Structure 1
């Protein structure tokens, strides 16, 4: 092992991982598979059942609904997702609870020990986090592991694990620097998580033909939305039907997340051998929560959507929920994202834009966004030096009938969410102090 002393806190570990590999993203499975083999992760199934979820959009919501549905049916679960919003601990949930620092550190230490056995292996931040999470899950003896695949599919670290069921939610353009802009090529990369002879759940009717082609070539057992299973209706009262379910599950609640993803989660659950209980399905979908995905905090709607496909979904949801005041769009994006496509999709539902600058090498400035917004005919009310600066400007001017959409990046939503939570805590503390003073009079 390295002569350097290992960190003893989670922040110290994360700081170390950010600097131990020459690049932040290094697609390929050779290094990850070698360390996974040394850790014993490839010798036996990770746990009793494993579902992997890949796609451009909808992965997080599908994982969250799978987790809620499985828990409602009495299963113990582990869910691995990325990235996180406020805390790294969000990436690994055990029975719906975030893993604590000690658990995550134990996983990192196991990876560090393994990568120094024999010829040292260099790993990225994401790869260490993934292997550490898999090590924790393997020792937890849970009934179901739900693993979100990263930006790719075929070459993503999660793909060292062979799933019982593989899910592909959507395929759209994103991460062009790594995946290119050819949808057929992106589809082939996403389909790299599929396995011969095992169920493949295709959760969109708009997937490129390459996904089905790869599934056919592999001999995967395809279950496609609109074919093997269906979602009928919009909003509360929708129904799920499937060749694998004797009686359709009806009168389902709207989880506030894409219903195609909800149907996909239900189908995947049936394919790992769970007999759907309609009351349990209704309870799970009514109570599922996913921060940063159509998350309403009073007048504020927070969503991490950062590509045109996600923006179109946001526009549809906002149009279905009209307000009597003005809709403000607080937009902060990275430079490698399709800002014009996002702006074009959201323009019909946003009255006033408040672009915000993000920090870091990949950041896009508020001025750049403002210029693009002007080209699209958008009204720019203010240019924020940061998402919080933009949020504070808005908070001072919002009328009760107005609303704000915060979107464009995980970074944008994370900063505004943290600011909102701090504001709420300060308000609660002030209210508590007022009550103490009032009681002392």
Structure 2
């Protein structure tokens, strides 16, 4: 049961986060009824649109993989074109503040606490409404972003689409990146059904950007039902492969952009971001686009620290992309994978996808009710024909073991979960303070 009283307005952010974690009886409780009512009480939303004298435009991004990459590229591109942009993404890696970015900077503790105070006032008004941790965080983020005088918001859907808290906002442009099996306990394993759920962010008459040429037909079916103009990769826009002079973005309704730099993130996502930004009225400037792509960064996505590469990919589709990028990198020594996964993920599928790029495995355990034991994960690796060199109780312990055995020619992939990557990013080895 939660405490009888919420934290005080002067309480630290950690106390507020702990309060929201305890408040609702379940961690995930999909539906828009509760969060919509509290948003209305806060004055955040009016008839599906953000309230306020000068509400910002909104791009909402859903999908199984590529949401974070697309959102980060969108924010960098918008900023490079002179827009004041804010974004809301989840989960975070090290600090909760990473979820809310205001004009290039994470929201401060004070801003987030002020938002949570307002959310709690609205929630507790009669009749009292219970909110999940994610619902409260989404409302807090929207409150912070709406009061920051921004031009554009980039909102990443947390889970699914149709019933996700982010979907209380009618987006000016809605993006679906990819569709694959993940979160089966909530979305099931039927790809057509998953596609319909993700496409639930589409709105009548508002552009829908499809960021993959392999989406199930159900996504375009929803767009047609909503009469949402559809812009699909491979049809309305496209991109070339990397070449010596970069890559190119092509679209039906505008000039091509040539010789673009590799952002270090999937090029399909970069092209999707360019198309979405153009649809909110941004006149794409070639020089600004090139600079934004050079400057974009996203922690935990093919993030290199010396010989260590950290990537949060935790399903087979994401793992296959990582394996392809890793295989293209010269490494005369061993190719290690430090792998830690949650128990509700497709470990065998991830391992099979990574296996062509990995020679040796270190399996690590993750704490918490959803954590998978290192030995159980090792059994999955062995079942896929992999060579397990060590099992450790935690990502930190696994990294310590590896540090004593790596040669100058070895590389290490850290993968399998936000929790695995976040644990190591918090350590001094990767610039953290833990």
Residue equivalent to 2:59? 51
Cα distance between partner residues in 2 of 1:199 and 1:144: 16
Cα distance between partner residues in 2 of 1:353 and 1:6: 44
For structure 1, the residue ranges without an aligned partner over 5 or more in a row are 427-441
Cα distance between partner residues in 1 of 2:164 and 2:218: 18
Task: Report if the CA contact (8 A) 1:62-1:265 is conserved.
Answer: yes
Residue equivalent to 1:358? 366
SS in 1 for 2:390: coil
* Deviation string, structure 1 residues 210-266 (Cα, Å, up to 9, x no partner): 001111111011000000011112266100011222x20110000100000000000
Residue equivalent to 1:205? 213
CA 1:420–1:172 in 2, change beyond 3 Å: closer, same or farther? farther
Alignment equivalent of 1:159, drawn from 167, 171, 174:
167
Q: CA deviation at 1:15?
A: 0.9
Alignment equivalent of 1:114, drawn from 108, 113, 122:
122
Task: Report if the CA contact (8 A) 1:244-1:270 is conserved.
Answer: no
CA 1:413–1:234 in 2, change beyond 3 Å: closer, same or farther? same
Cα distance between partner residues in 2 of 1:266 and 1:275: 10
> What TM-score, normalized by structure 1, do the two folds share?
0.94
Is residue 242 of structure 1 aligned with residue 242 of structure 2? no
SS in 1 for 2:354: helix
Cα distance between partner residues in 1 of 2:189 and 2:385: 27
Task: Report if the CA contact (8 A) 1:39-1:110 is conserved.
Answer: yes
Is residue 23 of structure 1 aligned with residue 13 of structure 2? no
Is residue 373 of structure 1 aligned with residue 378 of structure 2? no
How well do the aligned residues superpose, as a CA RMSD in angstroms? 1.4
Residue equivalent to 2:191? 183
SS in 2 for 1:140: coil
Q: CA deviation at 1:5?
A: 4.9
* Deviation string, structure 1 residues 113-172 (Cα, Å, up to 9, x no partner): 111222100000000000011111111221100000111100000000011000000010
Residue equivalent to 2:347? 339
Residue equivalent to 1:42? 45
Alignment equivalent of 2:93, drawn from 80, 85, 88:
85
Cα distance between partner residues in 1 of 2:116 and 2:431: 34
Residue equivalent to 2:264? 256
Alignment equivalent of 2:281, drawn from 273, 276, 282:
273
| Equivalent residue runs for 1:256-405 within 5 Å | 256-405=264-413
Task: Report if the CA contact (8 A) 2:336-2:413 is conserved.
Answer: yes
Task: Report if the CA contact (8 A) 1:85-1:411 is conserved.
Answer: yes
SS in 1 for 2:290: helix
SS in 2 for 1:66: helix
> What TM-score, normalized by structure 2, do the two folds share?
0.95
SS in 2 for 1:372: helix
Cα distance between partner residues in 1 of 2:419 and 2:27: 17
* Deviation string, structure 1 residues 152-203 (Cα, Å, up to 9, x no partner): 1000000000110000000100000000010100000000000010000000
Q: Which moved more, 1:416-425 or 1:210-219?
A: 416-425
Number of equivalenced pairs: 424
CA 1:420–1:323 in 2, change beyond 3 Å: closer, same or farther? farther
Q: CA deviation at 1:420?
A: 4.5
* Deviation string, structure 1 residues 304-350 (Cα, Å, up to 9, x no partner): 00000000000110111131111000000001000000010011110
Q: CA deviation at 1:111?
A: 0.6
Cα distance between partner residues in 1 of 2:297 and 2:38: 34
Task: Report if the CA contact (8 A) 2:7-2:15 is conserved.
Answer: no
Is residue 232 of structure 1 aligned with residue 240 of structure 2? yes
Q: Which moved more, 1:303-312 or 1:111-120?
A: 111-120
CA 1:425–1:415 in 2, change beyond 3 Å: closer, same or farther? closer
Is residue 145 of structure 1 aligned with residue 130 of structure 2? no
Residue equivalent to 1:431? none
